[in-house]
Amino acid sequence: MTDRVGQFQAMVARQPDNELFRFSLAQALIAANRAPEAEPHLAACITKKPDWMLPRILLGKQLLATGREAEARPLLEEALRLAIAQDHEDPAAELKALLSGK
């Protein structure tokens, strides 16, 4: 997995405003058990594309995992709103469960 991290780090270094590269790097970092390092990349994705649900979910889960529920809740609530608006039933169900603490 580290090779994927390095690959996407190089891509982000060349094109730091490319949200797809940042998202791919964030996913690679999460897969490599380096989730805290993914946070700024997920945040950049959310800033660049406010209607992108998945980075909100991943960042919200990361914040929950590190005990930062107050920061996670607004992200997860907005992700739920987006999931419903975009007809993503499975993510909506997952988000409802996360937000209810189940």
Q: Please state the domain count of the chain.
A: 2
57 found inside a domain: yes
63 found inside a domain: yes
Are 66 and 87 within one domain?
yes
Are 13 and 57 within one domain?
no
* Separation in Å, CA 73 to CA 30, 31, 41, 68: 20, 23, 19, 9
Are 91 and 70 within one domain?
yes
Contact 52, 45 (CB under 8 A): yes
Q: What is the per-residue pLDDT across 42-75, written as a single tens digit (0 to 9) for each? A: 999 999 999 999 999 999 999 999 999 999 999 9
Containing structural domain, residue 11: 1-40
State CA 56 to chain mean position distance: 5
Are 64 and 100 within one domain?
yes
> Structure pTM?
0.92
